[in-house]
Structure 1
Amino acid sequence: MFNKFHIVTLVLSLVTTPIFSQDTDTTDFEEESGNEMFTSVDLSYSSDKGNTDFLSRYYGFSFSIVGDIGPLKDTEFSVNFSRSNDELDGEPFTDDQSLTSQFDLWANQRISPFLFFQNSFDKTIGLNNRINYGIGAKLGLLKWLSISYALLY
């Protein structure tokens, strides 16, 4: 199951992780710009050979910003992309992709307008191209209660 290369790589990564770990204390971080940004890039590759041959590839990207974006106060923006492509014995098993973007102006205020867009496909179930988009707003009633309304297409 594991050959000598896999075991050596695992041991070296466990030994060297504390050496390259973060030394500074981030609990005292003070936000100066009034916003937070998050970025994630995911790559995955897997190949199994034997009684069945399985090949899997996944790519993903996510970016979001929450807070003040220039003159826009209390705003949320995000873009997410994912792509999967799997094969089982040379035949397509999964072939899908999704791109989603959303923008929420004045996200935590009493009235908050928003926009969203989504483009996706999944060839294994025959969904060749689906586009969804919408515009709407959220109306805050109480601290933890709100009503949202939207025009969707």
Structure 2
Amino acid sequence: MTQIKAKYFFKKSIEICVICGLISFLFFTLTDSSFSQSEPPPRITVTPKKVDLGLMKKNEVKLYKIIVGNKGKGDLYITNIPAPNEAGISLAKNSIKPGKKIELTFFYRGIDTGKIKDYVSIKSNDPKTPSVKIILNGEVK
């Protein structure tokens, strides 16, 4: 009788271990991003990352262009472009397909005299680089 109980106990222990192993496998498979079925990520590229506005007169407006590309496999969305008070942007399109690029036109108004040491941030849904800074240099006379 003791031998039968031991076999029963051993069999139930194996079943429980198999079930626990299966649950652990499913948990880690479903929570691990490498196994998930989510969309492939975008990868933002920005050129140039530094803009020399040169010598400007007070209240002069200078235009400059930035190329934003997507070298990832998912759609890249530009979510926000906070700019300094003297800068602005004309944004016609905010979604960039994989392998594509768009040109953004910014402007900078030289309000205060002196050295220009500013930046513009481009925020996107790129998980590795959610924000890219473009450095602005120059001088207002």
* TM-score, with length taken from structure 2: 0.28
Kindly name which structure, 1 or 2, has the bigger radius of gyration based on alpha carbons: 2
Structure with the larger helix share: 2
Structure with the larger strand share: 1
* TM-score, with length taken from structure 1: 0.26
Higher relative contact order (Cα pairs below 8 Å, separated by 6+ residues) = 2
